[in-house]
Amino acid sequence: MAASKSRGKTVQYGEQKISRGEGGETHQTAGGDVPTLTTQQGVPVADDQNSLKVGERGPTALEDFHFREKIFHFDHERIPERVVHARGFGAHGYFEAYESLSDITRADIFQRAGEKTPAFVRFSTVAGNKGSADLARDVRGFAVKLYTKEGNWDIVGNNIPVFFIQDAIKFPDLIHAAKQEPDRGFPQAQTAHDNFWDFISLTPESINMALWIMSDRTIPRSLRFMEGFGVHSFRLVNAKGKSTYVKFHWKPKQGMQSVVWNEALKINGADPDFHRRDMWDAIKSGDYPEWELGLQLFDDSFADRFDFDILDPTKIIPEEEVPVRIVGRLVLDRCVDNFFAETEQVAFCTQNIVPGVDFTNDPLLQGRNFSYLDTQLKRLGSPNFTHLPVNAPKCPFHHFQQDGHMAFHNPAGRANYEPNSWGGKEGGPRENPERGFTSYPAPEAGDKRRVRSETFADHYSQARQFYISQTDVEQAHIVSAFVFELSKVETPAIRARMVSHLLNVDKDLAKAVAEGLRLDEMPKPAPAAKPTKTDLKESPALSILRNPPESFRGRKVGALVTDGADAALLGALKKALEKEGATLKIVAPHIGGVKASDGTWIKADEKIDGGPSVVFDAVAVLTDQAGAAKLAKHPVARDFITDAFAHLKFIAYAPAAKDLLEGEGVDTAEGAGVIALAKKPDADRFVTACRDLRCWARNP
Per-run averaged pLDDT (10 residues), the chain, 700 residues? 40 48 55 84 93 93 92 91 96 98 98 98 97 97 98 98 97 96 94 98 98 98 98 98 98 98 97 98 98 98 98 98 98 98 97 97 95 91 94 92 88 87 88 92 92 96 98 98 98 98 98 97 97 98 96 98 96 97 97 96 96 98 96 96 98 97 93 92 96 91
Q: Looking at the domain assignment, is residue 442 inside a domain?
A: no
Query: Does 30 share its domain with 96?
Result: no
Which residues, at least 6 apart from 114, have a Cβ–Cβ distance to it below 8 Å?
96, 97
Q: Looking at the domain assignment, is residue 290 inside a domain?
A: yes
Query: Does 564 share its domain with 692?
Result: yes
Q: Which residue range is the domain that position 22 belongs to?
A: 1-34
Query: Does 676 share its domain with 604?
Result: yes
CATH number at residue 671: 3.40.50.880
Of the candidates 149, 141, 140, which has an alpha carbon nearest to the alpha carbon of residue 95? 149
Decide if 66 contacts 73 (C-beta within 8 A).
no
Q: Is 261 exposed, middle or buried (0-12, 13-18, 19+ CB in 10 A)?
A: middle
Give phi and psi for 673, each to the nearest 5: 80, 15
Query: Does 149 share its domain with 231?
Result: yes
Q: Looking at the domain assignment, is residue 519 inside a domain?
A: no
To 5 degrees, how large is the angle CA 43–CA 44–CA 45? 115
Decide if 584 contacts 617 (C-beta within 8 A).
no
Taking the C-alpha atoms of residue 256 and residue 554, their distance in angstroms, rounded to an integer, is 12
Query: Does 29 share its domain with 140?
Result: no
DSSP 82: P
Taking the C-alpha atoms of residue 210 and residue 273, their distance in angstroms, rounded to an integer, is 26
What local confidence, expressed as pLDDT, does residue 6 receive?
37
Query: Does 1 share its domain with 143?
Result: no
Reading phi first (left if > 0) and then psi (alpha if -120 to 50, else beta), residue 557 is in beta
Give phi and psi for 437, each to the nearest 5: -65, 135
Taking the C-alpha atoms of residue 227 and residue 159, their distance in angstroms, rounded to an integer, is 5
What local confidence, expressed as pLDDT, does residue 31 receive?
55
Q: Looking at the domain assignment, is residue 119 inside a domain?
A: yes
Q: Which residues are catalytic?
A: 85, 158
Query: Does 275 share its domain with 354?
Result: yes
Of the candidates 88, 5, 12, which has an alpha carbon nearest to the alpha carbon of residue 379? 88
Output Rg (C-alpha) for the chain, integer angstroms: 29
Query: Does 106 share its domain with 28?
Result: no
Query: Does 273 share its domain with 371?
Result: yes
Task: Quote the strand ranges of 336-479, DSSP E.
Answer: 357-358
Domain final residue, candidates 362, 387, 412: 387
Q: Which H helix or E strand runs over 158? A: strand 151-158
10-13 β-sheet, strand order: 10-13, 16-21, 24-29, 32-35
Q: Looking at the domain assignment, is residue 687 inside a domain?
A: yes
Task: Please state the separation of Cα 626 from the chain's center in Å.
Answer: 44
What local confidence, expressed as pLDDT, does residue 408 receive?
86
Of the candidates 328, 288, 365, which has an alpha carbon nearest to the alpha carbon of residue 581? 288
Q: Looking at the domain assignment, is residue 193 inside a domain?
A: no
Overall number of domains in the chain: 3
What local confidence, expressed as pLDDT, does residue 538 receive?
98
Decide if 102 contacts 236 (C-beta within 8 A).
no
Query: Does 232 share its domain with 375?
Result: yes
Q: Looking at the domain assignment, is residue 260 inside a domain?
A: yes
CATH number at residue 95: 2.40.180.10
What local confidence, expressed as pLDDT, does residue 28 receive?
59
What local confidence, expressed as pLDDT, does residue 5 receive?
39
Q: Is 326 exposed, middle or buried (0-12, 13-18, 19+ CB in 10 A)?
A: middle
3 state SS of 478 = helix
